[in-house]
Amino acid sequence: MAEFELDGHDYIELHKLLQLVGMAPSGGAAKMFIAEGQVTVDGVVELRKRCKIRSGQVVEMAGESVQVV
């Protein structure tokens, strides 16, 4: 499981996280993956593109996962 550090911020939006960690090649692709129900947050399908991901949450897509710290 990969980790992503928030660097002093309270949260990161889901579509931006997917792009920054390389799970999506672009923001548009990230939004499409989310809309298609391919992304889970803490084991639950998340359909909100701008969902606020906070420290301690785990995001999964296509067998890859990242924990936000």
**3-class DSSP string for 45-65:** ECCCCCCEEECCCEEEECCEE
What's the pLDDT at 8? 87
Domain 2-68 superfamily per CATH: RNA-binding S4 domain (3.10.290.10)
Please say whether the beta carbons of 53 and 41 come within 8 A: yes
Structure pTM?
A: 0.93
Nearest to 44 by CA among 67, 60, 31, 55: 60
| End-to-end CA gap in the chain | 12
What are the tens digits of pLDDT across the range 29-68?
A: 999 999 999 999 999 999 999 999 999 999 999 999 999 9
3-state SS class at 18: helix
What are the tens digits of pLDDT across the range 6-28?
A: 988 999 999 999 999 999 999 99
